[in-house]
Structures are given as structure tokens and as C-alpha cells.
Chains A and B, each alone.
Chain A
Amino acid sequence: MASKLDRLKQSVGGNAAESMSSADGRAQAGPPAKGPAARPAHLQGVTKSNDVAEIEVGRIAADPEQPRKEFDPDRIAEMAASLKESGQLQPIRVRWDPATASYVIISGERRWRGAKMAGLAKLLCVIDRRELEDSALVVDQLVENLQRVDLRPIEQATKMQDLIIKHGLTQVEVARRLGVERSKVVKALALLDLPEDVREKVEDGRLAPATAYELTKLADEEDRREVAEKVVGGDLNRADAIEEVKKVAARKPKSGKGGGGKAGGKAKKETDRAFNARGIQWRAVSARGFDASGLLASAREIVERLEVEVSPSPGGVAEAATV
């Protein structure tokens, strides 16, 4: 009959060896380890985030910098009804603002307003904890808006200009951050050159932005208004508007009322064009007239000259004055 020692060796010899050994002693066979089960399937590859929370609606405030300043009451009511019916399907994005000791909305103001109207106590929020400079937040807000909702053209252009003037982004950077073609940014900014009443027409939809952009090729404000009236009043499309612009542009500069005849045929060259970039007015004038590529070549020369001024050393890289 086996001694107790022999019996123990049989039953737990492996365990004893495992417990006694150091890491290299792994080779010892033993009873199969009753190891723990793996993480439950729904938690594999999952790490809890501290950035999601349910926050009382009263502790959340609208962002004064929010680009979308007007909210259609009907849509808020729709949101409220949907929240009541289906619950909150989408978190809003907030950040903590120590100055006001509240959570400020980065995106989701409509949902928040709907929640208040619906009488919800709390909202599911994603908390943005990045230490952000203002411009990154504004860009984020703008990006979110542009991705989901159509901002009105002048609103959109104004915020783009803010990024450039206030936060020092170039047009290229703005385009990249927004994931759009640079031309879109250029054209949007150009709209800001238009007189107030023309801008209004664009903003309320009477004048298409692409058409309005054509107006910016006219140097004279009165000319721009004139064509704008024609376009809106006559319900002209963009192609016709382009024609009108060329006609008007071909009139001699500073010609009086009623003066100047219609331009004969298509005039390829402009003679007078104004730009506004970062708060500085530029005017391109040439009696001979210029086309776009000629204008660009001339502008590049100016850029090079200015680059030398800004950074005289050879190969010095000055901030590109993109136009």
C-alpha cells in the first residue's frame, strides 16, 4: 500500500514542482492548470473610457462661439419628440469649462435644446479632454458642422476667415482641415468682399454662391450690385451671370451712368480686379487686360519679392503669403 507521501506525489507532485520552480522550471508537467477563462467575449479588445458620462442637462451650456446661431424651433420640437420617443441615440460632445464651471457643448446643441424641451434630466456626453487652443475647437466645430449640416454660405465664409485672420491658418490649411478643395475656400472667402446687400441675397438663397463668386471679379461695388440685381431679378443662371459680368467688366472703368457700350463679343481679358486677403485690399489693374494665368504669374513675382523682404537670407522660408 502506497505511503501517504507516495499518494501525495501522485496527486500534487506537479503542483508542488510548479510552485517551487522559478520561471525556467516551466517544462515540468503537471495537472492541467485550471486557469481563468478569458475575458468575456464582449469585453475582448475593450478598454473602458473615462471620456463618456451622463451629465445633467442643467450642467451643460451652449457654446457662445458656436457657428450655428439660429435654431429652427420646429426642428427643435422634432428633436424633442424624437428624444421622447426613441431616447437619445447619439451622444453630444462637450468640454469642461473651468471659467463657467459647466460643460460647454462642442457639438450637439440641437439635441441639447431638444432634451431641455423634452424635459430630459441627463444627456449622454462624450467629454473632450484635450487641452485645446481656441482655433482647434472652432475648427472642430466647423468641421463637424460642415460634415453634417449645410452652413449658410456667408456664415461658413465668415468662420473660415476667422480661422485665417484670428488663428493664423493659411487657406491651404483651412482646406486641408476641412477636407475640401482649396478652391472652395478661396471662393467662400471671396464672397466676403461683396457688399452687404449682395451678401444678404446669397445668405437667404436668392443668389447662388457660385454665381456670386463671379461678381467678385468686378472691381467696382456698384457694378457688383448692378449685376446682382440683374441676376436675382432676372433669375439668371450662373452661365448668364458670367456673361453679364464680362459685359460690365468690359465697360471702361469710371464710366458714367449710361456711358459705355456693350462689349463686342467675348472679352477674355479683365482689366481691373480686386481682392481681399487677410484684411489687406489688393487691386490688379492693367489697361492691356489680363487673364487668370497672367494674373497669377504677376502675383507670384510679387510673392517672391515679398519673401525676400520678409526673410532676406538665401533659402530662407518665409510664411507663404497665399492669395
Chain B
Amino acid sequence: MHIVTMLNQKGGVGKTSTTHHLAGTLATMNRRVLLIDNDPQSSLSQGFWGPNVVWDLDPADTVAAIYRGDRPYPDQVIRPTGVGGIDLVPGSRHATDSNRPRPFEAEEDEQQCLRSFLAETGEVYDLVLIDCPPNLHLCSWAALVASDHLIVPLQPEDYGAQGIRDVNASVARVQAGPNPALGLLGYLLTMVAPRRSIHVLYEANLRGLYGDGVFAARVPESAVYVEAIAHRLPIAQYKPKGAPARAIRELADEVLARIASKALAEPLEV
């Protein structure tokens, strides 16, 4: 079971959207996916069930239960999304209270709560994707503590690139402390308009600075992604043919490949 966090302090860069579509594509590739909606805003959950259903969820059946120390049974908070192959730990606005700043000062139990929860789910899922809020408070921290891998979505624009520094600082802190095994899977360019000069410039800069640290796959700007969400479907289930779905498929392939090569690179445990 590989646990991947989607994180960028900058909002609106496509964390939730990418998570949603990537999950759908992985499901069509016969991977069992668990999503964790780790953002009190709960957009990922609403992308499957709509705002009313999510608003009415009992916090005891959402990620909020994990944060408030209930230590719920996995079955209690994990639900099928309705899209085959994808299960979800729903988000909840009630998790806001737990999303405290200076997360490294929280009780160890709190910092480890997602990690402990996932340890209990057993080897049921191939991939766990954790969608985080646009900040570096406890929710994001707990995700980093729990994860093997990190993907940082960002737009090839100035505001988009500014989040990197803070994310790196948090990652370094987690690696130095509670989770030395955390690794950056890559920076992921999202909402890319490939012919827009400013995007070309920023992309070139990013690749120049980080080389392989940037995913070769990019998520293009496309209305189709947005329509898919309006239909409450990932792109692969909404419009499997076409460039937008293909782009996510390339991303999925690369994510799996990078994970596999990291696994090989790790020293075998005796």
C-alpha cells in the first residue's frame, strides 16, 4: 500500500481536482484506491456526493473522527464513493477545529493519527491519495507524517511557484523528525496552457531547477475536467477518450513508475 499526499500551500492549483481525476484513472487501471479528504473544506467529497450530503455527514463518520482522537474503525469512516474501485474517507468542516497551526507542537498522538489509522486498514488498497488543505497546519502535517510520497501540484505562474519554499520547509521538518521515509515524488505542473508564453517560461525554469524532480506528465488547462466534476465523475469515467483523459493516464503511469522505482531504490529490509 503506497500512501501519497497531494500538497501545496497555495490554493487553487488543482490539488483536489488532480486527486479526483487521478483516482478515477487508477481505478480503470484496476488499482484499488483509497482517498482521504483531508481538507475541512471537503471539496473532494463534494466532488462525489455534492455539498448537501457532505454537509449532513455525521462527523463521527468522517476524517474529523480521526482528528479528534476517536480512533474509529476503518469500516466506520471508509465509504465507497459510488465510482467503482474508489473508496473515500470523507472530509468534514468539523475537522477545522483540529487543523491547528504549529503542528509540530501537537501531541504525538495527533501528529500520528492518520498514520495510525492507515496502519489499521491493512493491505486492502494499492494506493492511498490524501488531499490536503491549502495550508501547512496539522491536517497537512499529519498527512506528511503518514505518507511515503508527496506530489506538489503547481501552476507555471508566479503565485503558483511561490508555495514551494514553505512546502519544502515542512517536508524537511517531517523528514528530520517523525517521518524520515517521506520522499518527494515530484512537482506536478497543472492547468498548463502549453502555448502561453508565460507558462512556457515558468515550466522551463522549474525543469531547469529541479530536473527529474518535475513530473514529465502535465495536467493541461481544460474545461472538460471541470465539466466532469459538475457531473460528479472523474475524467476517466466522464469522457475516457480525448486529450484531457489521456493526460491523466500519462500522469497515472508516471506516478506508478516513480513509486515502483523508489521501492526498488530502497534498501531491502532484512
Q: 8 Å CB contacts to B: which residues of A22-44?
A: 23, 26, 30, 33-37, 39-40, 42-43
- Please give the distance in Å from B99's CB to the nearest CB on chain A: 22
B230 contacts which of A15, A34, A35 (Cβ < 8 Å)?
Answer: A15
B46 to chain A: closest CB distance in Å? Answer: 7
Query: B79 and A48: CB pair below 8 A?
Result: no
Please give me the residue from chain A that is nearest to B62 by CB atom: A36
B231 and A15 contact, CB distance less than 8 A: yes
User: How far, in angstroms, from A135 to B81 measured CA to CA in the complex?
Assistant: 53
A18 interfacial contact with B, CB 8 Å:
yes
Q: How many chain-B residues does the 8 Å CB contact rule pick out?
A: 27
Cβ of A48 and Cβ of B50 under 8 Å apart? Answer: no
Contacts of B90 in A (CB 8 A): 36
A43–B73 contact, CB under 8 A?
yes
Partner of A19, one of B50, B61, B70: B50
Say if the beta carbon of B80 comes within 8 Å of chain A.
Answer: yes
Query: Contacts A15-B50, A23-B55, A50-B71; is A43 near B231 (CB within 8 Å)?
Result: no
Would you call B48 and A34 a contact (CB within 8 A)? yes
Distance (whole angstroms) from the CB of B70 to the closest CB of chain A: 7
If A15-B231, A15-B232 touch, whether A36 touches B49 (CB-CB below 8 Å) is yes
Q: B residues within 8 A CB of A42?
A: 75
- Chain A CB within 8 A of B72 CB: yes
Partner of B46, one of A19, A46, A47: A19
Which residues in A have their C-beta under 8 angstroms from that of B75?
39-40, 42-43
Q: Quick check: is B53 within 8 A (CB to CB) of the other chain?
A: yes
What is the CA–CA distance of A112 and B253 in the complex, to the nearest angstrom?
Answer: 54
Is A48 a contact partner of B73 (Cβ separation < 8 A)?
yes
Are the CB atoms of A8 and B49 closer together than 8 Å? no
Roughly how many angstroms separate A8 CA and B226 CA in the complex, as a whole number? 12
Q: Cα distance A23–B46 when bound, in Å?
A: 14
Residue B76, interface by CB 8 Å: yes
Q: Which residues of A contact B57 (CB under 8 A)?
A: 36
Interface centre among B48, B50, B53, B71 (most CB of A within 10 A): B50
- Please tell me if the beta carbons of A39 and B231 are within 8 angstroms of each other in the complex: no
Q: How far is the CA of A33 from the CA of B48 in the complex (A)?
A: 9
A105→B73 CA distance, assembly (Å): 27
Q: Are B230 and A16 in contact (CB under 8 A)?
A: yes
Q: How far is the CA of A36 from the CA of B49 in the complex (A)?
A: 7
Query: Nearest chain-B residue to A20 (Cβ)?
Result: B51
Give Cα A11–Cα B232 distance, bound, in whole angstroms: 11
Is A323 at the interface (CB under 8 A from chain B)?
no
Shortest Cβ gap from B34 to chain A (Å): 14
Whether B230 contacts A37 by the Cβ 8 Å rule is: no
A136 CB–B CB distance under 8 Å: no
Flag if A33 contacts B50 (CB, 8 Å): yes
Q: Is A12 interfacial (CB-CB < 8 Å)?
A: yes
Decide if B79 touches A36 in the complex (CB within 8 Å).
yes
Evaluate contact between A34 and B232: CB separation under 8 angstroms: yes
CA separation between A33 and B232, bound complex, in Å?
Answer: 10
> Which residues of the other chain, A, contact B231 by a CB distance below 8 angstroms?
11-12, 15
Chain A: minimal CB distance from B45 (Å): 9
User: Assuming A23-B55, A37-B79, is B232 touching A8 (CB within 8 A)?
Assistant: no
Chain B proximity mask over A64-106: 1 for CB below 8 Å, otherwise 0: 0000000000000000000000000000000000000000000
Q: Does B52 make an interface contact (CB < 8 A)?
A: yes
Docked complex Cα distance between A262 and B80 (Å): 90
Chain A residues in 8 Å Cβ range of B61 = 39
Q: How far is the CA of A34 from the CA of B88 in the complex (A)?
A: 13
**Residues 208 to 249 of chain B near chain A (Cβ within 8 Å):** 227, 230-232
| Cβ contacts A94-135/B at 8 Å (1 or 0 each) | 000000000000000000000000000000000000000000
Q: Which of B46, B51, B57, B72 has the most CB of A within 10 A?
A: B51
- Distance in angstroms from B72 CB to nearest chain A CB is 6
Q: Mark out the residues of chain B between 112 and 152 whose CB falls within 8 Å of any chain A CB in the assembled complex.
A: none
Q: Which residue of A lies closest to B70 (CB)?
A: A48
Asked if residues B76 and A18 are in contact (CB atoms below 8 Å), the reply is no
B84 within 8 A of A: no
- Closest A residue to B58 by beta carbon equals A39
- CB neighbours (8 Å) of A33 from chain B are 49-50, 52-53
Name the CB-closest residue of A to B228: A12
Measured CA separation A12–B228 after assembly (Å): 10
Separation of A47 and B60 alpha carbons in the complex (Å) = 9
CB distance from B268 to the nearest CB of A (A): 29
Docked CA distance A57–B63 (Å): 35
Q: Inside 8 A of B49's CB, which chain A residues have their CB?
A: 33-36
Q: Which residues of B contact A50 (CB under 8 A)?
A: 71
Q: Of all chain A residues, which has the CB nearest B71?
A: A48
From A15, A26, A39, contact of B76 by CB (8 A): A39
Query: Smallest Cβ distance from A39 to chain B, in angstroms?
Result: 6
Query: Is B180 in contact with chain A by the CB < 8 A criterion?
Result: no
B138 to chain A, nearest CB (A): 21
A sample of 13 cross-chain residue pairs with beta-carbon separation below 8 angstroms, ordered by A number, consists of A12-B230, A12-B231, A18-B50, A33-B52, A34-B50, A34-B232, A36-B80, A39-B75, A40-B75, A46-B73, A47-B70, A48-B70, A48-B71
Taking A15-B50, A18-B52, A33-B53 as known contacts, 4 extra A-B pairs with beta carbons closer than 8 A to each other, sorted by chain A number, are A18-B51, A34-B50, A40-B75, A48-B72
> Residues of B with Cβ closer than 8 Å to A?
46, 48-53, 55, 57, 60-61, 70-73, 75-76, 79-82, 88, 90, 227, 230-232
Nearest 7 pairs between A and B by C-beta?
Answer: A36-B79, A34-B82, A12-B230, A35-B53, A33-B53, A43-B76, A33-B50
